[in-house]
A and B are shown apart, each in its own frame.
Chain A
Amino acid sequence: MITIQNISKKFKVYPTRKDRLREWLSFGKKTYHQDHWALRNVSLNIEKGQIFGLIGLNGAGKSTLLKIITGTLAPTSGTIERSGKIAALLELGTGFHEELNGRDNVILNGKLLGLTEEEILSRLDSIEQFCELGDYFDKPVRTYSTGMYVRLAFALATSIDPDVLIIDEALSVGDAYFQQKCVRRMHEFRQKGTTILFVSHDLSMIKLFCDQVALMQKGSVIATGSAREILELYNAKLAEHDEQFCLGHSSQQTSFHDPASSGNGKAEILSVQLQSEDHSDIRAIEAGKACLLQLNVLFHETVDNPTIGFLIRDRLGYDIFGTNTERLYRPSGTWQKGTQAAFSFAFDMNLGPGEYTLSVAIHQDSTHVGECYQWIDRIFSFRVLPRTDFQFLGVSLLHTTFSAEKVPGPLCPAASQLN
């Protein structure tokens, strides 16, 4: 469907506008620009009917690659073959004119998508229904909220029955109801055999949908494979990139000035790591999987039985789970000045899919309100990914079994009377 071979993309970067003029006036004798390679030798093969995910940190070249696939940008070298109608939900706003109403914008943009007048008019009703804008469908687009914009755009892009649909982060806008509608429509597309190219930071979406995933880093595709394999690799890369939290050795000054950190400095948290069962650093974990939270602490003073705790919050900042050694009734022992200790909490990540933040603290007694050695808020965030074997809603994972059996005995008289 889409075959990309050895695509590279170079941008010329001029320090200032004048440098371009200087370069022109020198007639090629001097160069004032620097070459920036956004993509280097990228090859990908996307099969028909596949849902293909593209992940990578910001600046990895995902957007540039998408633009080359849609034909917005031309590659510096390499070839790309594509067949069929491609529709892309890229950034907000393209093609919609603020002053025109939703209906007129749909008609004009339908033509930009390559539909004929009749085709677009025949789809107009279903688009109007899908986006559920009500009266707003006939009001100027400038009066729309962002969510309404997205609804209109998504309704249009998906109504054209593309052979290839490109989705770039667009689904993260809009309310939950509409997001679910979009997800349902994506399932429809999948059943119809539409090829979908999906770019997202939402790893759980990637995991749910994608048959194949490519991981990009610094302009190259470093791995392609199943969603599971690639997400594991991505995890490792994320953890590497995050530079595991480290305050630097014995630099009390910096730790006191760190706004997210507070405390009197008698004990210093040197590093915090979230690890999977096999002790590799991770930033994402499948719901229900066992994990290990490891804190390395340096004691600047002798401390008797410090309390070590952690707190997990969701993306809205609500406390999801937190505990400490005091509450666990696990004394941590006495630590002499100058010693370094490793404390570990092992637990199963029985949380629903989503993004969470982690805070840690070391203090005296049961809360950090008393004498606090160090408290670090939101050291890093991590993701809980949906399970592949079963699915569930909500923020907590309750282990559930199900059974059904036939109960012997006569029908209850009340029920038989009703019949």
Chain B
Amino acid sequence: MVIIAWYGTFPQRDFRMNPVRTLVHFAKINMESRTLITDLIRRDFRVRYLGSAMGSYWNFIHPLAMIAIYTVIFSYIMKVRLGDEQTSPLHFTIYLCAGLLPWTAFQETVLRSSAQFHEHANFIKKIAFPKEIIQSITTGSTTLTFMISMSFYLLLLLCTGHIPGLSAICLPFLILAQLLFASGMGMILGVFNVFLRDVQQVLNILFQVWFWMTPVVYSIDRIPPFYQKFFLLNPFYYFSRTYQDILVWQKWPDFRILGICLILGLVSYTVGAATLLLFRDQIADEL
């Protein structure tokens, strides 16, 4: 029941279309509310499996199960091999995870984001809850799962002696770019979903298609060269490819591609933030 007050003054309409001020505004609100954000992420994480006997262990079991399933199906049953036929099934797992784990995080972030305003409807409708931090809560929560599965993956890399080289220092930038990209999309789709709940349903289908259009389970080399260039239209291809370059092939990524990832992230986040600001005051009316 309770609550409220936001002390901050409400930004005036005039700067909504100014990207720099929009970003500064978002950074400011998110900084001011950082303890609230971390608390809500923690609550979300704790509450997700509350009531189940295994509790938060499910956060570890899910990614492990997913990796196991894909490995068994593609590596053992379908005998998919990378490059030459001699490589072991384990190599396939290493390749698979490099693309699949980021993809899963990306998909989960966007799909959850599309429903995030409904998820927090209680706060939005009853208290002066800053809508600018909701995306951070969603992204933070899914990223926590992402980090858990990534640490399993790194453990696997260490155990198999497949230790990433110096190029791993690019990873934080790549992950940051991915988070911004997913958050931006999340904000845009989340806002639309407030007004039209079908958005969420359409996304569920769209992401199935998008997944198979991205060289994550298969390698792009298996695609006829003519079709390969079409993958450049898929924004997530830039991300998955850079992950694979760093983690699987242990080489420096193409910096132009890394740059594209960062630009995609920044543009997406800015557009998302502007969209949210534009519709922010109508969200509470609609929920």
Residues of chain A touching chain B, judged by Cβ–Cβ distance below 8 Å, are: 11-12, 17, 20-21, 67, 70-74, 85-97, 99-100, 104, 107-109, 111-114, 116-117, 149-150, 153, 156-157, 162, 170
- Can you list 28 A-B contacts (CB < 8 A)? A20-B195, A20-B196, A70-B4, A70-B5, A71-B5, A72-B126, A72-B127, A73-B284, A74-B280, A86-B5, A88-B5, A88-B127, A90-B3, A91-B126, A93-B1, A94-B2, A94-B123, A94-B127, A95-B122, A95-B126, A96-B1, A96-B2, A100-B46, A109-B3, A114-B5, A114-B6, A153-B2, A170-B1
Are B47 and A113 in contact, CB atoms less than 8 angstroms apart? no
In the assembled complex, the CB of A399 is this many whole angstroms from the nearest CB of chain B, namely 42
Since A90-B2, A108-B43 are in contact, a sample of 11 more A-B pairs with Cβ atoms closer than 8 Å, ordered by chain A residue number, is A67-B284, A74-B281, A87-B2, A95-B1, A96-B1, A108-B40, A109-B2, A111-B36, A112-B129, A149-B1, A157-B2
Are A112 and B36 in contact, CB atoms less than 8 angstroms apart? yes
Q: Which residues of A contact B6 (CB under 8 A)?
A: 71, 114
B226 at the interface (CB under 8 A from A): no
B212 at the interface (CB under 8 A from A): no
DSSP majority for the A interface? Answer: mixed
Interface bits B253-285 vs A (CB < 8 Å: 1, else 0): 000000000000000000000000000110011
Are A85 and B123 in contact, CB atoms less than 8 angstroms apart? no
In the assembled complex, the CB of A65 is this many whole angstroms from the nearest CB of chain B, namely 14
Nearest to B50 among chain A residues (CB) is A99
In the assembled complex, the CB of B9 is this many whole angstroms from the nearest CB of chain A, namely 10
A94 CA to B128 CA, complexed, in Å: 11
B86 at the interface (CB under 8 A from A): no
Q: Which residues of A contact B7 (CB under 8 A)?
A: 85, 114
Q: Which residues of A contact B87 (CB under 8 A)?
A: none
The interface on chain B, measured as residues whose beta carbon lies within 8 A of the other chain's beta carbons, has a size of 32
A35 CA to B46 CA, complexed, in Å: 42
Interface bits B128-151 vs A (CB < 8 Å: 1, else 0): 110000000000000000000000
Interface hub of A20, A89, A113, A114 (most chain B Cβ within 10 A)? A114
Interface bits B1-39 vs A (CB < 8 Å: 1, else 0): 111111100100000000000000000000000011001
**Cross-chain contact of A87 among B5, B50, B124, B129 (Cβ < 8 A):** B5
Are A112 and B123 in contact, CB atoms less than 8 angstroms apart? yes
Given A111-B35, A116-B35, A88 contacting B2 (CB threshold 8 A): yes
In the assembled complex, the CB of B50 is this many whole angstroms from the nearest CB of chain A, namely 5
Are A70 and B127 in contact, CB atoms less than 8 angstroms apart? yes
In the assembled complex, the CB of A254 is this many whole angstroms from the nearest CB of chain B, namely 42
